[in-house]
DNA sequence: AATATCATGTAACATGTTACATGATTGG
DNA sequence: CCAATCATGTAACATGTTACATGATATT
């Protein structure tokens, strides 16, 4: 088979909360899972087509002409559970910041400093966003899911705080390096 | 242009330390940059061919028949600096663990627990590896580069420690969730 | 009426992995 | 000599993004 793309997991998972159009799926994934997941239209529409053919989602032609709201079927719910149980597919690491810092001598302490500063600012932004998510009023319907969501928020916070701590350490080290040169 | 793949940066960067065969390049990238970067043969050989054509690397046919050691040219060194100065290409996030935890209610606290436990163990392994790297005796020739390398090691350590702290917190939360059900 | 947004889909492109074919060299 | 490893390269495949074509609906 091997057709088990993680896109299907994300799509089925999102639809397990509520029926949506493909367009809305993309927005939901961007806005809600954005910190740790992403999908583009070019992935979502073909995935929906295949899921429909397999009977995992159903097209409930609603609202405007041409637009269709997709709904997860009973089979789809079972498939989601199966997909979630499959081993995690690791993506090979590709950290552009670390690549640059590793060859940082070529760039010099100053350019490295600004790279680290940029990473620090980005981590601060993420932290603020997580804070905003935590402040969102809990929703009755999804109350049961909230503890799991908070697990992912917490992971993001730990990661962002680690990035900030590291950045401060790195900035100090780079300053030292700049002075002694 | 747009030919500025980050593979070229990694290849030129590695060759800036010492001349190597394509095979050795792959090993060096895996062993040294492995925690934050990866390249496969299918990327390295075409990249070397193009860099050779542009005059950024030179093939110094050495050693055994058929094998060729690649050396960075003066132009290649300039190009490396240029590439390092280019904006970081962000890879869209795809964190399979978080995807599963977000839909964790479908899996239940126990299955989530084992996912988190796996992540924790992996972070511990990484931490041990970073420790080993730090203990490696410094090399005369690359002494100037070491401070930059240590920046990346430190980032890995911060990230791994954050993962462990998060995992412990998450395990406690999941236990709570399992009890109260 | 014009513009912005919602919505679906596809085609072209970019990137990257895996598996294979092929052969040289080294160590036991 | 034989197995393991070193070494080069390519082809097939998988994945994913971006840009485009097309049109409906909502907003001003």
Q: What is the pLDDT of residues B42-69, one digit of tens each?
A: 999 999 999 999 999 999 876 677 789 9
A67 touches strand C (CB under 7 A): yes
Residue of A88, A101, A148 with shortest CB distance to B97: A88
Can you give the pLDDT at residue B75? 97
Average pLDDT over residues A42-52: 96
**DSSP 3-state assignment of A86?**
coil
C-alpha to C-alpha distance for B59 and B144, rounded to whole angstroms: 27
CA gap B43, B52 in Å, rounded: 14
pLDDT over 70 percentage in chain A: 95
Summarised one tens digit per residue, pLDDT across range A129-143 is 999 999 999 989 899
In this prediction, residue B89 carries a pLDDT of 92
pLDDT attached to residue B3: 44
Measuring from the CA of residue A45 to each C1' atom, give the nucleotide at the shortest distance: C9
Q: Residues of chain B whose pLDDT is less than 50?
A: 1-3
Mean pLDDT of A28-46: 97
Q: Which of B100, B118, B177 to mutate to test the interface with A (most CBs of A within 10 A)?
A: B100
Residue A37 has pLDDT above 50, yes or no: yes
Could you give the CA distance from residue A22 to residue A36 in angstroms, rounded to a whole number? Answer: 20
**pLDDT the model gives residue A62:** 63
pLDDT for B181: 66
Rounded (5°) CA angle A31-A36-A42: 70
Mapped onto helix, strand or coil, the DSSP state of residue B3 is coil
**Cα distance between the two ends of chain A:** 58
The pLDDT of residue A181 = 65
Count CA atoms within 13 Å of residue B7 on its CB side.
Answer: 19
Task: Please provide the DSSP assignment of B16-79 as one string.
Answer: TTS-B-HHHHHHHHHHHSTTT----HHHHHHHHHHHHHHTSEEEE--SSTT--EEEE-HHHHHH
**D strand bases under 7 Å from protein CB:** 6-12, 14-20, 23-26
| A37 token code pair | 């997941």
Residue A4 banded pLDDT, cuts 50, 70, 90: low
Per the listing, tokens 């050691």 go with: B69
Q: CA-to-CA distance for A171 and A168, rounded, in angstroms? A: 5
Give the CB-side neighbour count of residue A137, counting CA atoms within 13 A: 2
Position B1 scores a pLDDT of: 31
- pTM for this predicted structure: 0.95
B99, A9 Cβ separation under 8 angstroms = yes
Three-state DSSP state, B148 = helix
**B84–A94 CB contact, under 8 Å:** no
The per-residue pLDDT of chain A, averaged, comes to 94
Q: Is the pLDDT of residue A150 over 90?
A: yes
Q: How far apart are CA B20 and CA B178, in angstroms?
A: 54
Contact yes or no for B102 and A148 at CB 8 A:
yes
**Cα torsion angle, B106, B112, B115, B116, sign:** positive
Query: What is the distance between the alpha carbons of residues A164 and A120, in angstroms, rounded to a whole number?
Result: 5
* Residues B149 and B122 sit within 8 Å (Cβ to Cβ): no
Total beta-carbon pairs less than 8 A apart between chain A and chain B: 185
Say whether A100 and B84 touch across the interface (CB within 8 A): yes
By CB atoms closer than 10 A (0-12, 13-18, 19+), residue A41 is exposed
Query: What pLDDT is attached to residue A87?
Result: 93
Cβ contacts of A84 on chain B, cutoff 8 Å: 100, 103, 106-107
pLDDT at A1 over 60: no
Q: Residue B155 and residue A173: Cβ atoms within 8 Å?
A: no
Rounded (10°) CA dihedral B128, B130, B133, B135? -60
Helix (H) or strand (E) run with residue A88 in it: none
């Amino acid at each position: 088979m091997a057709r088990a793309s993680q896109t299907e997991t994300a799509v089925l998972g999102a639809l397990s909360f509520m029926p949506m159009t493909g367009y809305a799926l993309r927005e939901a994934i961007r806005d809600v899972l954005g910190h740790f997941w992403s999908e583009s239209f070019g992935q979502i529409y073909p995935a929906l087509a295949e899921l429909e053919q397999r009977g995992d989602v159903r097209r409930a032609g609603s609202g405007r002409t041409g637009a269709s709201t997709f709904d997860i079927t009973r089979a789809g719910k079972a498939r989601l559970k199966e997909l979630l149980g499959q081993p995690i597919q690791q993506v090979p690491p590709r950290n552009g910041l670390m690549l640059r810092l590793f060859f940082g001598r070529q760039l010099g302490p100053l350019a490295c400093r600004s790279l680290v500063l940029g990473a620090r600012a980005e981590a601060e932004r993420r932290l603020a966003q997580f804070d905003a998510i935590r402040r969102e009023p809990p929703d009755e319907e999804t109350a049961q899911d909230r503890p799991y969501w908070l697990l992912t928020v917490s992971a993001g916070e730990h990661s962002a705080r680690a990035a900030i701590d590291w950045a401060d350490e790195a900035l100090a080290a780079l300053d030292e390096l700049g002075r002694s040169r």
